[in-house]
Amino acid sequence: MSQQPQQPQQEISIINLDQLVSMTSVEIAELTGNEHRNVLRDIRKMLEELNAGNAANLLI
Render pLDDT for 3-54 as a digit per residue (tens, 0 to 9): 555 555 566 666 666 677 778 899 999 999 999 999 999 988 988 888 776 6
- Residue 30 is predicted with a pLDDT of 93
DSSP helix/strand/coil, 26: helix
DSSP helix/strand/coil, 22: strand
Which sign, positive or negative, has the C-alpha torsion 26, 32, 33, 36?
A: negative
Whole-number Å distance between alpha carbons of 31 and 43: 15
Whole-number Å distance between alpha carbons of 43 and 54: 14
